[in-house]
Amino acid sequence: MPVQPSLFVSHGAPNLVLHDSPARAFLASHAQDLPRPSAIVCVSAHFETDTPAVVADPAPGMIYDFGGFEPELRRMVYPAPGDPALAVRIAGMIRGAGLPVATLPRRGYDHGTWVPLMLLYPDADIPVVQLSIQPGRDAAHHHRLGRALAPLRTEGVLVLGSGSLTHNLHEVFLPGGMRAIDSETPDWVTGFVDWMVGRIEAGDTEAVIDYRARAPFAAQNHPTDEHLLPLHVALGAAGDGAVGRRIHASCQYGVLHLDAYAFG
């Protein structure tokens, strides 16, 4: 069975699925470049818990965790099955890495999960297991969490981190109104994005984990960490010495970089 890469994708706003954009086109076409997964472990920025939690729901429903968007979004359904046996096994792997873990019997798919998967795998015929992030823990913790999942890739399981390479919504919704979707990208965004791609593609895991202290404009691009933590899980799942490759780059509103990376 082919070894899967681990991926980090930027899922954008929920209505990414409705409107043409470079990020949507990338997600809608990228699965053809991958071996078909036996299952998917999705780590969404919108699934937050104090300690790691794995979802063992055999038939997850939908979570419409947003407001103010097109009403048709709330009629969308992504009916991919869960995989309780895999969820229990993942919990054991995390526990074996010395981390506490909980198994949740029920939880639906939040938009950080169903938006990218609806585009990547629209047939919804691949089992999906969800794994939470811990916004109160740092990038090193999430890298360690990803390392526990690394053996799954040799079994055809795709580890998918879903967040956003930059995520400062305060800079999207300005006092004078929302930025134009094609706004010019300011230097403080470009500087951060260029630093990240340089360190990731150089295999400088230590620097990427310590991005808060080392990356230029880190706090401006991520006032809080949650949308970048899935990247650290994906990086960890690629194993020691992982070198990443940027497989997509685009920007909306000048400040939301919707880049994607493949590791391993």
CATH code for the domain of 179: 3.40.830.10
Position 1 in a domain? no
Question: pLDDT per residue over 78-102, tens digit each?
Answer: 999 999 999 999 999 999 999 999 9
Position 28 in a domain? yes
Position 70 in a domain? yes
Position 56 in a domain? yes
Structural domain boundaries enclosing 234: 6-263
Reply yes or no on whether the pLDDT at 198 is more than 90. Answer: yes
Reply yes or no on whether the pLDDT at 209 is more than 90. Answer: yes
Position 219 in a domain? yes
**At which residue do the structure tokens 């295999």 appear?**
203
The beta strand positions in 29-151, using DSSP E, are: 39-48, 53-55, 102-104, 128-133
| Residue pair 261/245 in contact by the 8 Å Cβ criterion | yes
Position 165 in a domain? yes
Reply yes or no on whether the pLDDT at 240 is more than 90. Answer: no
157 to each of 133, 172, 179, how far by Cα in Å?
A: 19, 35, 39
Reply yes or no on whether the pLDDT at 177 is more than 90. Answer: no
Position 82 in a domain? yes
Instruction: Check the CA dihedral 213-262-183-186 and report its sign.
Output: positive
The beta strand positions in the chain, using DSSP E, are: 6-10, 39-48, 53-55, 102-104, 128-133, 157-163, 173-174, 177-178, 244-248, 251-252, 256-257, 260-263
Question: pLDDT per residue over 134-167, tens digit each?
Answer: 999 999 999 999 999 999 999 999 999 999 999 9
Question: Residue 249 is encoded by which pair of tokens?
Answer: 């780059």
Position 2 scores a pLDDT of 86
Position 217 in a domain? yes
Q: How many domains does the chain have?
A: 1
pTM over cut 0.95: yes
Angle between helices 139-149 and 84-96 (to 10 degrees): 120
